Amino acid sequence: MTIIPSGAALAAEIQNVDLKNLSDRDFIEINAAWLGHLVILFRHQQLSVEDLIAFSRRFGELDWAPVQETGRRFVEGHPELYVVSNVIENGVPIGSLGAGEAVWHTDMSYLENPPKASMLYALEVPPAGGDTHFCNMYRAYDSLPDALKQRASGLGLKHDATYNSGGYVRQGLAATDDPVLSAGVYHPLVRTHPETGRRALYLGRRRNAYLHGLPLAESEALLDELWLHATRDEISWHNQWHPGDVVLWDNRCTMHRRDSFDPSSRRILYRTQIKSAPGEPA
Ligand code: SIN
């Protein structure tokens, strides 16, 4: 196995490995690379749904995927699988998020106990566009001026549950653009990673985010400043997808976004999510 750091602020490609046939020793090395590089990429994988689920399970128990915007599950018999796709078959979308931009976010941070990791496996990708970008939230925290670090460390942030990253309203919720009243949960704005012990900014999603107890205008101004700081190119990396790519990222210390792409082309990826340990605070 060869681990090749991307040279950017995060991410490494792991070569010479077949995710269908991993020894325990290989897995320990992969897990350490993931914790160190935050995002890991494997190319040229040929996985069945069962292989993908089995590899994902090595990192922990899997979450069931949220239901689609249509209210349906994605893949019969595999509730762990979420399909990210713009493809429509027989008038019905086979997946979520369409072909538009998916804005910067951390997966499912609107839950009390959000998943620690997410994995995407590319089946079909468009000839251009649809790249996925990741940013390093340890670096975002570490590079804050001291006064801002101190201020941020005492604050709680509401993570809005209303919209997904494609801008669709989640099942059972009413559209709103009021950050104070919208549905969501509070997490500390600065979190300590339970495995690495490092501190990271935890921003979730910008839309309807709200800093507990602050006047709305002050919350908006501080959040704008933190978001600009956290999503700079210097602390980001992106993957240009090829079929057979597997990317695993750590939701506790990264955010991600996706570029839009030509809606007449096809993009199909399967996603799994790995639960945090029970009761593990964000
Ligand atoms: C996601 O936000 O989980 C999907 C990212 C992508 O479509 O590349």
- Nearest Cα neighbor of 252 from 188, 165, 206 is 188
Confidence band, pLDDT 50/70/90 cuts, at residue 277 = confident
| Ligand 1 centroid distance, CA of 133 (Å) | 9
Does some domain include residue 280? no
- pLDDT at residue number 152: 96
Confidence band, pLDDT 50/70/90 cuts, at residue 147 = very high
- Tell me how many domains the chain contains: 1
What is the mean predicted confidence (pLDDT) over 9-38?
Answer: 97
Does some domain include residue 126? yes
Pocket test for ligand 1, best of 68, 85, 97 (most atoms within 8 A of CB): 97
Does some domain include residue 251? yes
Ligand 1 atom with least separation from CA of 132:
8
Does some domain include residue 282? no
Kindly report the number of other CB atoms within 10 A of residue 106's CB atom: 26
Ligand 1 atom with least separation from CA of 241:
8
**pLDDT above 80: residue 118:** yes
What is the mean predicted confidence (pLDDT) over 38-65?
Answer: 97
Q: How high does pLDDT run on average in the chain?
A: 94
Give me the domain span that covers residue 241.
Answer: 2-274
Does some domain include residue 112? yes
Does some domain include residue 279? no
pTM of structure: 0.94
Ligand 1 atom with least separation from CA of 105:
2
Flag the least confident range among 66-75, 137-146, 235-244, 259-268.
66-75
**pLDDT above 90: residue 43:** yes
Confidence band, pLDDT 50/70/90 cuts, at residue 120 = very high
| Ligand 1 centroid distance, CA of 55 (Å) | 19
- pLDDT at residue number 4: 98
pLDDT tens string 151-161: 999 999 999 99
What is the mean predicted confidence (pLDDT) over 187-216?
Answer: 97
Ligand 1, residues at Cβ distance < 6 Å: 84, 97, 102, 107, 132, 165, 256, 258, 271
- pLDDT at residue number 165: 72
- pLDDT at residue number 69: 63
What is the mean predicted confidence (pLDDT) over 42-60?
Answer: 97
**Cβ-contact 249, 118 below 8 angstroms:** yes
Give, using CA atoms, the residue closest to atom 5 of ligand 1.
Answer: 258
User: CA geometry: angle at 178 spanning 177 and 182, to 5°?
Assistant: 95
Ligand 1 atom with least separation from CA of 84:
7
Does some domain include residue 193? yes
Does some domain include residue 226? yes
- pLDDT at residue number 15: 98
Distance between CA atoms of 122 and 173, rounded to whole angstroms? 30
CATH of residue 139's domain is: 3.60.130.10
Distance between CA atoms of 17 and 44, rounded to whole angstroms? 9
